Amino acid sequence: MALSPGRRDRERTTIRSLIPEGASLRIRLETRLTTKTDREGDRFTARVIEPGDFEGAIIQSHIAKIERSGRMTGRTEMALDFDAITFRDGRSGPFHAQSGEASLRRRL
């Protein structure tokens, strides 16, 4: 999943100095999410895997919205919100980002 810091972060000096405007972060979910049992508001974490400057940072997040599929569409959608980030060196702050693309891989 690719993330770009949102406008609210650009307005905060602490995060703006840590993550440049327009930066893209690739993350991996640390918490398994499923539309079958998870609910709106459930918390989860993700770890930054790229770029290297931010690798290992932990993002605290929550499920913002789940729209379960109807019988005809067969398509369920899940919206995720990102709340805070903690870097390897211990610095942390609020983090609001927009998700770009997500690739889902099944674990066997």
pLDDT at 46: 95
- 48 pLDDT band, cuts 50/70/90, is very high
Q: Look up residue 35 and give its amino acid.
A: T
Print burial letters for 9-22: b (CB count within 10 Å at least 16), e (below 16).
beeeeebeebbeee
SS3 85: strand
Backbone CA torsion sign across 17, 23, 28, 29? positive
The structural domains of the chain, with segments of one domain joined by +, span 2-32+39-99
What percent of the chain has a predicted confidence (pLDDT) above 70?
71
Closest among 31, 25, 29 to 52, alpha carbons compared: 25
Tell which wins on pLDDT, 4 or 22.
Answer: 22
Percentage of the chain beyond pLDDT 90 is: 30
Mean pLDDT of 86-96: 89
Nearest to 97 by CA among 33, 26, 31: 26
Q: Mean per-residue pLDDT for 68-83?
A: 78
Stretch 2-30: mean pLDDT: 67
**pLDDT value at position 106?**
47
